[in-house]
Amino acid sequence: MKARVHVMLKNGVLDPQGEAVRHALGAMGFDGVNGVRQGKVIELDLSEGASEADVAEMCEKLLANTVIESYTVEMI
């Protein structure tokens, strides 16, 4: 069993990496990009019996900084 965790900065938190990507895309001629938010994807290979609640606890304790980041869990 696997889980995929998507971690993104919360709305309102400045994203300097996303802004740098947006600026670079504009410099490369991609003028239609008005904003970029950058995040991360964490894929976990879990043993049988692991639950979405277990993954959420991992996120709360280590994988996401819940003060400035939000996350979603996808069991795959």
Q: What is the pLDDT of residues 5-55, one digit of tens each?
A: 999 999 999 999 999 999 999 999 999 999 999 999 999 999 999 999 999
Q: 72: which 2 tokens?
A: 């979603």
CA-to-CA separations, 38 to 2, 7, 50, 53, 64, in angstroms, rounded: 23, 9, 28, 25, 14
Residue-level pLDDT at 23: 97
Residue-level pLDDT at 14: 97
Q: Select from 3.20.20.370, 3.20.20.70, 3.90.245.10, 3.30.1280.10 the CATH code of 2-75.
A: 3.30.1280.10
Reported confidence tier of residue 2, pLDDT bands at 50, 70, 90 = very high
Residue-level pLDDT at 4: 98
